[in-house]
Structure 1
């Protein structure tokens, strides 16, 4: 009977080790810094514009090299673990067509602080961004981050919002400079 309990105990320990291996041992993609974790995920960070603290980590907004001296606008959730930082979720976009601002939407994800709308501010006259769901039930003022040519905006949204929005770029006086309705299914 004692041998049976020893075998059951050992089997239980092996199962626990397998199930919690991700918690007990660091991942190859774990970084000592946020930027290192992003780089290890295969993204080529040119520069970090802003980090926004959220539960269990940060949402980072950055520029990413896409070759030929071009950059994309990127954002993602980097999770803090026992062993360091790990890239969890995010994406990027480059938009040469829009004049005032670009926009991207990340839908709700269970283990990430999304939904999120974000983009680049291309026109320096834009001093405020408003994000409106198409029902106009929950208009939000976006947070503007960065400086100079590295201006970006973002807004955390409610779980029920998206993926269609009207985004308005306003001047310092509150005049609408640009308005764009986006229909997107997000990215990962």
Structure 2
């Protein structure tokens, strides 16, 4: 009887160890896949891009600008139109799953450059209710070549200086950027654009209360 008990105990212990090892292995694989996908020219990045194309059903091939790692996948920045005197930018959250890359959520901004003479365009994409969501996000485009740096603040604890990114495309004069905003950040965000000498070129203020769903206000 005791022998059967010990055999059963060993079998259960081994099964639990295999489950733990399998979980650890899958977590390590996820980390590697996400890291590889941040290289925009890698096979892994192209697989994440394919998940976007499949969901969006685009006829044209977008110009991919940047891929940024988040906890469970990547954020992919890309442009679609590349029109003269026009700005546009899309961001997509693509999750890594055991079945491969899957589109999760996204948003976009676009319009004529004449809408903002200072050449600083900002879009707020609110939290989408998913527990694993990297949103809210500030998405932006810069078409003023005098702007060299951005500073974002809620006037309290949240501050960010997002990278200005330019697509590797001969017709692209736009710099793109994004910044993840903590859900607990202040309700008014200030985006300040600076020139090379640190002089203020433009200031934009956004009220999150006007842009968030009611449950987040």
TM-score with structure 1 setting the length: 0.71
Equivalent in 108, 112, 115 of residue 127 of structure 2 = 108
Residue 186 of structure 1 and its aligned partner are, at CA, apart by 6.0
Q: 1:51-70 maps to which residues of 2 (within 5 A)?
A: 51-65=67-81
Instruction: Describe the shift of the 1:129–1:186 C-alpha distance in structure 2 as closer, same or farther (beyond 3 A).
Output: farther
Q: Higher helix proportion, which one?
A: 2
2:99 is aligned with 1:75 = no
Q: Secondary structure at the match of 2:56?
A: coil
Equivalence for 1:166 = 190
Q: Report if aligned partners of 2:188, 2:205 keep a CA contact under 8 Å in 1.
A: yes
| Further displaced range: 87-96 or 175-184 | 175-184
Equivalence for 1:122 = 143
Unaligned runs of 5+ residues in structure 2 are: 1-44
Equivalent in 34, 43, 50 of residue 48 of structure 2 = 34
Q: Distance in 2 between the 1:140 and 1:153 partners?
A: 11
Q: Report if aligned partners of 2:127, 2:133 keep a CA contact under 8 Å in 1.
A: yes
Q: Secondary structure at the match of 2:197?
A: coil
Relative contact order, higher structure (CA 8 A, sep 6+): 1
Deviations 1:100-127 (A, max 9, x none): 2211112234221122112111111111
Rg larger in 1 or in 2?
2
Q: Higher strand proportion, which one?
A: 1
Aligned-residue RMSD, C-alpha: 3.0
TM-score with structure 2 setting the length: 0.62
* Divergent runs of 4+, >6 A: none
